Amino acid sequence: MGFRMGIVGLPNVGKSTLFNALTRTAAAQAANFPFCTIEPNVGEVAVPDPRLEKLAAIAKSKEVIPTRMTFVDIAGLVKGASKGEGLGNQFLANIREVDAIAHVLRCFEDGDVTHVEGRVNPVEDAQTIETELMLADMESIEKRLQNIVRKVKGGDKEALQQERLLKAAMAALEEGRPARTVEVDAEDAKAWKMLQLLTTKPILYVCNVGEDEAAEGNAHSDAVAKMAQEQGAASVVISAKIEEEISQLDAEEQAMFLDELGLEEAGLDRLIKAGYDLLHLQTYFTVGPKEARAWTIKSGTLAPQAAGVIHGDFERGFIRAETIAYDDFVALGGEAGAKDAGKMRAEGKSYEVKDGDVLHFLFNA
């Protein structure tokens, strides 16, 4: 179950520097877990989770496989992208394929690095990209409404639902609000997602600050954090230059470097965690002597669907899930101790998997 986050940004904001750090990190992790494929514009990075190592140590697992998040370097954006300016069409197509947007904003002052607008104002930069996405959505909605006129007149239920949702989205956009602000009922959720509107994507604002501001941020990043809070979005402070340096160090050197800078963890780790939270994702574990592995699911996922993340047969033939809470597994020294203490539960099809659950699935082949 892959989750993709697209990295966007205006020219000279540090997007490429940040992505280079991500891809170097991904390349360095390639030996540690399988399926770490690197393409020119794709970096697949492990989601940091200290719980996995602890579980592996208890179970004496030979292999440790973390869950992953994919970052996609989206084609550069300029004003007019919605009309195909620059690489606009490629930009818009790439955004439709990701689950969320990491919007890199320039929050640093540097006379040697030219800003495309001749000033440093990350809030206005964010509005520039948001406007282009909104304009593209409005154009897309107008075309779709024209295409379904005949079906709507014929009373086609699917077309009527689509028309209602498209008009709700257009009303929000005409008020200057992104489509993600529209409240959608559960019965419409699937059809709403199928519209693939650009402004329904959740946004994480990445404040790229100077090297000496990585720990606390600055006035620019504070303004972005305020904007994000008002929008119900998220923000994270990072120094792309520092991350590029860190990506070239081994684990011991990284720890020393971060300590010198007064940072508890790498900015990329914060970025990955923030993206994970933004998408309402959580982790469950499968643990044994062969491997300890983390699996990504959406919050609220039921046991059969969680099993399906491993293999479709697990979902189709689901019988039950043997479940141990992470804290119980650790406190009682593993599966045997948890079972002896009565902390292993048998859960059925209606069980909502909790973050940190250690699961073993029983199924009919």
pLDDT in tens, 319-333: 999 999 999 999 999
Structure confidence at residue 339 (pLDDT): 95
Residues flagged as binding site: 12-17
- Which pLDDT band, with edges at 50, 70 and 90, does 76 fall under? low
Q: Looking at residue 1, what is its pLDDT?
A: 52
CA dist 169 and 287 (Å) reads 44
How many Å apart are CA 5 and CA 69, to the nearest integer? 8
Once rounded to an integer, what is the mean pLDDT over residues 79-83? 52
Higher pLDDT pick, 325 / 43: 325
Q: How far apart are CA 185 and CA 329, in angstroms?
A: 38
The yes-or-no verdict on residue 82 having pLDDT over 50 is no
- In one-letter notation, the amino acid at residue 239 is S
Strand duo 345-347 + 63-65: pairing? unpaired
Contact 48/54 with Cβ under 8 angstroms? no
- Tell whether the model's pLDDT for residue 111 goes beyond 70: no
Of residues 45 and 154, the one with the higher pLDDT is 154
* CB contact at 8 A, 147 and 163: no
Q: Please report the sign of the dihedral spanned by the C-alpha atoms of residue 157, residue 162, residue 165, residue 166.
A: negative
Report which of 122, 323, 328, 324 is spatially closest to residue 226, judged by C-alpha positions. 122
Between CA 329 and CA 340 the distance in angstroms is 11
The 8-class DSSP code of residue 39 comes to B
Task: Give the per-residue pLDDT at 251.
Answer: 80
All domains of the chain in start order, with CATH: 4-48+67-118+202-278 (3.40.50.300), 131-199 (1.10.150.300), 300-363 (3.10.20.30)
Is residue 180 within 8 A of residue 199, CB to CB? The reply is yes
Of the pLDDT bands very low, low, confident and very high (cuts 50, 70, 90), residue 154 is very high
- Mean of the per-residue pLDDT values for the chain? 86
Specify the pLDDT at position 122. 94
Return the percent helix, strand and coil in the chain, to nearest 5: 45, 20, 35
Q: What percent of the chain has pLDDT over 70?
A: 88
What mean pLDDT do residues 201-210 have? 93
Binding site, annotated residues for ATP? 12-17
End-to-end CA distance of the chain: 21
- Is residue 334 over pLDDT 70? yes
pLDDT band with cut points at 50, 70 and 90 for residue 218: very high
- In the block, tokens 């501001």 appear at 213
Give the DSSP letter of residue 40. Answer: T
- Mean pLDDT throughout 218-238? 92
Q: Would you state the pLDDT for residue 75?
A: 66
The number of residues in the chain equals 365
